[in-house]
Amino acid sequence: MNTEETFEPEPGQDSGPNAPRPAPRPRPAQAQKGSIVKYKAALRKAKRKNAREPEIDFLNITAMLDLMTIILVFLLKSLASSAGAIPQSDDLRLPQSVMVGEPSDEGVLVVVSKTQILVGEESTPVVTLPSREQLAQSGIEAKHKRSGPNDLYIVPLANSLQHAREIDKAVRAAKGLDPSTSEARIVADKTTPYRLLIEVLYTLGQSEFGKYHLMILSGKK
């Protein structure tokens, strides 16, 4: 593109054809081009100065997954209903005691009613109980025992306790407690035969449950 240059003589200066021509003034296009060059150089310098390592731009989810696992364990534990709110019916009546105190919330819940045995929050019974007369004499039926009718080990109950034990072990480890043994809260009907109660306690002991809480109804003297 052609740019016409004009010159104006200073006052008192000869303006004839032979007069010396003054030096041309800087063109605006050249000044603009120089500013753009300086701007680009400064921009490249700022990019190099603020450059970061590539690893910073990525999210490391390993620690987040570990945290979510711990939160999930505590969530499963908190979803369990309180032991002090056990609903009673004709199939389950708790014995009464003169002792007054708060019920324990620690341990796996084992419910022994007149007709079935439940573990945790499961609604499906692990064992369906026979008549009270048979329970008082030989306990659980021999088909549920490990080695005959005289054995105290209840196989279906032990199998269900293994899964509950793994969850409780993780919870105790997260709380900083000893994970080598677990606790159990036993809610039994007041007419439960002694033989059946011994079999339940024996199976708990064989399943790494070393401490038991027997739930009762508190009352006054």
pLDDT at res. 202: 93
* Better-scored residue on pLDDT, 155 or 35: 155
pLDDT at res. 139: 84
Q: What is the dihedral of CA 180, 183, 184, 185, to 10 degrees?
A: -170
Question: Tell me: the pLDDT tens digits for 117-175?
Answer: 999 888 889 998 888 888 888 888 888 998 888 889 999 999 999 988 888 888 888 88
Give 200's pLDDT tier (boundaries 50, 70, 90).
very high
Contact assessment for residue 74 and residue 197, using Cβ atoms and an 8 Å cutoff = no
Q: Where are the domains of the chain?
A: 72-218
Whole-number average pLDDT of the chain: 75
* Better-scored residue on pLDDT, 92 or 209: 209
pTM: 0.54
d(CA 131, CA 195): 13
Most confident of 23-27, 101-105, 190-194: 190-194
pLDDT at res. 10: 53
d(CA 140, CA 136): 9
Bridge partners of 210, per DSSP, are none
Give 38's pLDDT tier (boundaries 50, 70, 90).
confident
* Better-scored residue on pLDDT, 76 or 38: 38
> Looking at the predicted structure, is the pLDDT value of residue 9 above 80?
no
pLDDT at res. 12: 54
* Better-scored residue on pLDDT, 68 or 54: 68
